[in-house]
A = this chain, B = another copy of it.
Amino acid sequence: MTRQPTIKDVATKAEVSFKTVSRVLNGEPHVREEVRDRVLAAAAALNYRPNIAARGLIGGQSRLIGFLYDNPNYSYVTEAEIGALLRCKQSGYHLAIEPVDSQGDVGGQIEQILASLRLDGVILTPPISDDPAALAALDRLGVRHVRIAPHADRDLSPCVFIDDDEAAFAMTRSLLDLGHRTIGFVLGHPDHGASPQRLAGFRRAMREQGLSPDANHLIQGYFTFESGMEAGLRLLTLPHRPTAIFAANDKMALGVMAAARDLGLTIPGDVSIAGFDDTHAAQMGWPSLTTVHQPVEDMCAAAAGMLISLAAGEPLREAARKLDFQIMPRASTARI
């Protein structure tokens, strides 16, 4: 493994000063065409690659964006990552994935990440997007960040989100429109800002129909398949069984499905089931899951785009970007 050629090697070969090489490579003016060609030929011949560390030392830019998340087994995260990734690639940026344990010392973890990695910006996914310690640490270190789906203090820093309340309202409405009146709801993880909003939307739609759900029909979940299964089991063994169950995310909805099947109930014959997020699993399961499509990929692409603009010194057009959700009626819900 020989030494990487430097700008000086190229200069020697092209018989110019190394500064001229730098000029050519950065497309600066005031270089004769003949010289430019000679330099480019030399650079190509030596297979020269600029040293990113040296460049970063001057400008302070790393072209690297951080993607902070908790919960490794969250299919939401995969989609989010892809969105950010593709947007980064488009602009020649790169993405460093950084797991963070939101139960631990979030501020310390972020400090550690930024100590060994100079990032041009950071994308925060839930639940970190609502973690005060994370925001404080980033502010202190002066690192730009965009939050995905935050629910507290949306004006604190740039963010991208959907209206969770409105989305849950719409999904509940569509269940009501199918004739369901006894609807169970599986709440999301209490640490996630989206959870209370989705519950609020559900409640609002019920109330608007003159229904006030029994406390038994609201079950606390934790966004996991298992918690969904447990919730489903409890809901579906109630004396006054709901005819539809709306889970605050897809994973829990799949859990509810599994519980229903374990109890010998057919879907959607005996019970309709709806989820939230529209992860890939929603389409691949059977029956396919009626759910709220949250444009996670687009949201993260937008977030990456915002950070790239900021890094380029451009001002942000809007500090908070609201994207549209979409109700995806599939096979897991039916008219009663």
Interface residues of chain A, those whose CB is within 8 Å of chain B, are: 1-2, 4, 47, 49-54, 56-57, 60, 62-64, 72-73, 75, 78, 81-82, 85-86, 89, 92, 94-99, 111, 113-118, 140-142, 225, 251, 254, 257-258, 261, 280-281, 284-286
Contacts and interface: CB of A to CB of B under 8 A. Distances in A.
Contact of A57 (B49, B51, B141, B142): B51
Contacts of A57: 51, 53-54, 57
B286 A284 contact: no
B96 A95 contact: yes
A97 B141 CA distance: 24
Nearest to A81: B97
B94 A99 contact: no
A114 B64 contact: no
Contacts of A95: 96-97
A62 B94 CA distance: 14
Contact of A284 (B1, B64, B225): B225
Nearest to A287: B261
Contacts of A99: 85-86, 89
B117 A52 contact: yes
Contacts of A140: 47
A133 to B, nearest CB: 16
